[in-house]
Amino acid sequence: MATTKKTTTRRAPRKATTATTTRSVAANPSLATRTGKAIAKRPVASAAIATGVVSGIAAAVAGFFAFKKSGKSFSEFSSDVATSVKEKAAETSERVKDGLADAGTKAKDRVSKIRDGLDGDKSQSEIAEEALTLKETGKTTKIPIDPVIEDQTKTGSIAY
């Protein structure tokens, strides 16, 4: 069996190229690069964060100016602000509780009227007038046109 000699080609030594430089930057990106990528991946979250930061800075500046304008010491000023915030929170909490109680009462009334078959928006005379009009014209009320619902309506399993 004959053997052949393998020939190998020599390559030139590799020089540093931009690809190598790019790899090292990609492996260890700067803060600006990471921030840019995060903004590109999640623009809504980034906008929310930026809005929060700007709002926080604006609140701090407004608080600083209010403190300077008051002419009080920091402890007096912070005590006044804390008292004011507590009072407003208590007032708001009370208003929310009252609103929820009112909404609950209205919802219960509305549900009981619906269960009883009464329409709170129409008076008894309006309902009677509508019934007479429908009887005279021969029109029927609009019931959903669906075979399953029609069957259930005939058997009395659905009440409108």
Q: Which residue has the higher pLDDT, 16 or 32?
A: 32
Asked whether the beta carbons of 149 and 143 are under 8 A apart, the reply is yes
pLDDT tens digit string along 83-109? 999 999 999 999 999 999 999 999 888
Reported pTM: 0.35
Radius of gyration of the chain measured on its C-alpha atoms? 38
Are residues 123 and 117 in contact, defined by beta-carbon separation less than 8 angstroms? no
DSSP 136: H
Q: Which of 160, 119, 123 is nearest to 141 (CA)?
A: 160
Residues 6+ apart with CB under 8 A from 134: 140, 141
Provide the pLDDT for residue 15.
Answer: 57
Least confident of 5-14, 28-37, 42-51, 65-74: 5-14
Write down the pLDDT at residue 134: 81
Average pLDDT value for residue range 28-43: 89
Residue with tokens 């990471």: 34
Domain ranges of the chain: 28-71
| 3-class DSSP string for 37-66 | HHHHHCHHHHHHHHHHHHHHHHHHHHHHHH
Q: What are phi and psi of 86, to 5 degrees?
A: -60, -45
